[in-house]
Amino acid sequence: MVSKFGNRFLISTDRSSLVLRIDGIGKLLTDYYGRKLTGLLDDDHLGIDYPFPQGTSVVYSPDYWNHNLSLVKSEIATMGKGDYFSPSVILSDDRTQVFDFVYDSYRIQEPEPIDGFPTPHGASQELVIVMAERQTHARLSLHYVVYESEDVIGRYAEIINDSDLPLAVKKLSSLQLGLTNDGYRIIGLTGSWANELNRNATKLVPGKFVLSSNTGFSSNRANPCFALASSHADFTHGDVYGFNLVFSGNHEESVEMDTNQNIRVQVGYNPLLTEIVLAKSKSFVTPMAVMAYAEDGLNGLAHRFQSFVNDCVIPPYFKNRERPIAYNNWEATGFDFNDGKIKKLMKKAKDLGIELFVLDDGWFGNRDNDSQGLGDWQCNEKKIKGGLKGLSDYAHGLGMTFGIWMEPEMVNKNSKLYQSHPDWIVKDVDHQPCPGRNQYVLDLSRTEVQDFVYQSVKSVLDSAKIEFLKWDCNRPLSDYPRSGSFFLDYFKGLYRVLDRLTKAYPTVLFENCASGGNRYDLGMLSYFPQSWMSDDTDSFQRELIQYGGMLGYPQSTFSNHVAAKTSMQMLRKTSLDAKFDVAAFGVLGYELDLNDLSPIDQATLSAQISYYKAHRALFQFGILSVIESYEDGNVFSVQVHRGDEWMIGRYGAIQLANPKLSYLKALDVDPNAIYAYASRQESIPLSKFGSHINSVTPIHVNPDGMALAWLMKNKDMKSEIDQGHAYGASLLSQGPALSVEWNGTGYSDKIRLEGDFGGRIYHLIQSSKSTHLS
């Protein structure tokens, strides 16, 4: 809801308000962003002007001797008029590089799509404030897009050149916001390959903190999502601001603070090597940045962003649509497969209850390793007799759906595509382009390349019944052409292709992937509802990745696979159930070699799959919160909550000697209600006990010998079951005690043996005392 009160605008969502003010010289200022205001009062003094210029300041003009632009909480900043914060807008023409925008007009309109960039749907209103340059006839429109019930405000900027001189746009942030320091910590999501989305908190000090990518893609180095949390904020209480950008390319987010503790937040595309030159009456528009304010801590912010993504970002067809449990053959077979091997895996997957089979890399062209074949999207019928149709028919005959892997933006030199179109790759005039994973990037800024990519994917999707497509992108950009708009044009081209494809195949579930999470952002999620979060399938690493991701994204976007017991990436060994405990908080899948499963493993996986199916909506669409994190100790605990049901994942890092007692905590429960709780019973592998197995076996067993190997395949131990009832009040402040952790002696069904990097899932349901869970 947008209202105008004199020289002020009040933009309100269900639980937050943003107040903007046009000051005496026509500058647009942030007066307030916080809890919802039901109106504006004449004398509420939300913003105040400095009554005097500080020592070394430059004042705006002789008529405004006290007006120092460095001391105001401006919604845009240019250079040359005494604002010494970093500019959010940098422009120049042949005559000047000083630009001075002042208020011109406003309008309130129906929200409109942004030309060239994905625009989240479901906004209720849009306020456009037009600022005019005092001398040069440039106009700057600031768009405030209100997602009322989501508590999210979008902002983007558009510049129009009305003068006869060409206008160079060297930087144009989507968003600038003024704040005053409240002991803020910046919480960013930084990382690298196989280690994405680490939550990192840094206390703000005077200076400038920048999160950015210049890899060409939004990157695993720094996600565009970040939060500012006040000194007293924790998971459930306190003021938190969050920001993100609906764009998949280079981005830059900065938080700058001066010694007066004035803060400017900026979010936008990264202006590095980007300069747009506008002829007369041409305009340039930025992607949308989004922001949210929460008074209820980091979980509160996460809930707003999670619901915004589910409701307004992902394609509407997939809103609340339950996602299938997938099997992907990559970690089991790599490139080494044929139709017989795949059909055998399909059959085994089906027997376990898996619903979707995804054929990964290696099915096309001469793609027997990663140095060849990319770009030739015809099925290799020598490897797969009967082609994709044969495999798809087989899967459907079994009662499963079928999916496929593609990497449409890339090409290997060893391919027919490269032989016919060597000029289609991204390259500069002189240098030999750098390979990445032996491949090169197709220049999606060119229309003929966009058409090729569209047609390649279309012909694959038309060649068989294909319900799922994993879209990969395994290297960043390099060797860019000398064009000031390349880093934006690449994505406008990509988005054009994705828009066409998702409109032509609205029910196909696309999974975003870029060597895991190297391009996990609101831009890609606008077309692809879920994402392969990381190439690291080790469950402990995934706990950390999911912990980071959930700050800004819902678990319906997390594609999580249970992989082999010994992690391919970490060589860390954890049980299949420990892996499931983490993977279940997202879209569940499997990626291990099903031929290696023992009878016990098969029973374990079947039980996991049945459990997940019974609670799928809760796992995929429940409100996700952090209860405890490793920052505070040895336990990491999360919950999903939907209606009167909860699932709690409770994990430990390294097992400690003489551990303290453990209790089951939950959030968002009614203190006066009664809840039934029950742990999911797990399979404990006998190998955990090593030679201690001999304390229970009638004959001596060599822990490294054949007898134990045989026993392990056919027998396991069952974990403890913790169940009972609890008042909500107890769950909120202490919780019921859980079985005591293993501590060196006396295993029994009253002992909780999680070991290193283990965990449990607990189901909680509001109930009358008589309800029992199993």
- Evaluate the CA torsion angle 69, 134, 176, 514 in order and state its sign: negative
With beta carbons less than 8 A apart as the criterion, state whether 242 and 227 touch: yes
From the list 56-64, 513-521, 617-625, 627-635, the region that binds ligand GLA by CB under 6 A is 513-521
Q: Should residue 536 be labelled a site residue for ligand GLA when binding is judged by CB under 6 A?
A: no
Residue closer to ligand GLA by CB (options 302, 358) is 358
Q: Should residue 515 be labelled a site residue for ligand GLA when binding is judged by CB under 6 A?
A: yes
Q: Should residue 516 be labelled a site residue for ligand GLA when binding is judged by CB under 6 A?
A: yes
Q: What's the min distance (Å) between Cβ of 324 and ligand GLA?
A: 17
Q: Should residue 360 be labelled a site residue for ligand GLA when binding is judged by CB under 6 A?
A: yes
Q: Should residue 472 be labelled a site residue for ligand GLA when binding is judged by CB under 6 A?
A: yes
Q: What's the min distance (Å) between Cβ of 374 and ligand GLA?
A: 9
User: Which among 472, 489, 536, 581 is annotated as catalytic?
Assistant: 472
Site string for ligand GLA, 731-770 (x = CB under 6 A): ----------------------------------------
Burial class (CB in 10 A: 0-12, 13-18, 19+), 448: exposed
Integer distance in angstroms from the first to the last C-alpha of the chain? 47
Residue closer to ligand GLA by CB (options 175, 411) is 411
Taking the C-alpha atoms of residue 556 and residue 80, their distance in angstroms, rounded to an integer, is 47
From the list 509-517, 536-544, 686-694, 741-749, the region that binds ligand GLA by CB under 6 A is 509-517
Residue closer to ligand GLA by CB (options 148, 535) is 535
Taking the C-alpha atoms of residue 492 and residue 503, their distance in angstroms, rounded to an integer, is 16
Burial class (CB in 10 A: 0-12, 13-18, 19+), 419: exposed
Residue closer to ligand GLA by CB (options 468, 621) is 468
Give the footprint of ligand GLA on residues 374-433 (CB under 6 A).
405
Q: What's the min distance (Å) between Cβ of 372 and ligand GLA?
A: 12
Taking the C-alpha atoms of residue 232 and residue 250, their distance in angstroms, rounded to an integer, is 33
Q: What's the min distance (Å) between Cβ of 360 and ligand GLA?
A: 5
| 3-state class (DSSP) for residue 257 | strand
User: Given candidates 9, 85, 330, 520, which one binds ligand GLA under the rule CB under 6 A?
Assistant: 330
Residue of closest CB approach to ligand GLA: 361
With beta carbons less than 8 A apart as the criterion, state whether 262 and 178 touch: yes
Q: What's the min distance (Å) between Cβ of 427 and ligand GLA?
A: 23
Burial 640-673 (b: 16+ CB within 10 A, else e): bbeeebbbbbbbbbebeeebeebbbbbbebeeee
Q: What's the min distance (Å) between Cβ of 534 and ligand GLA?
A: 8
User: According to the 3-state scheme, what is the secondary structure of 310-375?
Assistant: HHHHCCHHHCCCCCCCEEECHHHHCCCCCHHHHHHHHHHHHHHCCCEEEECCCCECCCCCCCECCC
Residue closer to ligand GLA by CB (options 161, 512) is 512
| 3-state class (DSSP) for residue 260 | coil
Residue closer to ligand GLA by CB (options 335, 747) is 335
Residue whose entry in the numeric block shows the structure tokens 């619903």: 355
The site that binds ligand GLA (CB under 6 A) totals a number of residues, namely 11
Q: Should residue 513 be labelled a site residue for ligand GLA when binding is judged by CB under 6 A?
A: yes
**DSSP tag of 309:** I
Q: Beta 207-212 vs 276-278: how paired, if at all?
A: unpaired
| 3-state class (DSSP) for residue 538 | coil
Q: Should residue 474 be labelled a site residue for ligand GLA when binding is judged by CB under 6 A?
A: yes
Q: Mark whether 535 is an active-site residue.
A: yes
| 3-state class (DSSP) for residue 537 | coil
* Alpha-carbon dihedral 567, 572, 573, 577, rounded to 10 degrees: -70
Residue closer to ligand GLA by CB (options 186, 194) is 194
Q: Should residue 440 be labelled a site residue for ligand GLA when binding is judged by CB under 6 A?
A: no
**DSSP tag of 287:** P
Residue closer to ligand GLA by CB (options 472, 538) is 472
User: Which among 535, 538, 577, 716 is annotated as catalytic?
Assistant: 535
**Count of CB atoms within 10 A of residue 549's CB?**
28
User: Given candidates 226, 532, 540, 621, which one binds ligand GLA under the rule CB under 6 A?
Assistant: 532
Q: Should residue 364 be labelled a site residue for ligand GLA when binding is judged by CB under 6 A?
A: no
**Count of CB atoms within 10 A of residue 621's CB?**
21
User: Given candidates 23, 100, 311, 361, which one binds ligand GLA under the rule CB under 6 A?
Assistant: 361
User: Given candidates 151, 376, 443, 535, which one binds ligand GLA under the rule CB under 6 A?
Assistant: 535
Catalytic residue list: 472, 535
Binding positions for ligand GLA, rule: CB under 6 A: 330, 360-361, 405, 472, 474, 513, 515-516, 532, 535
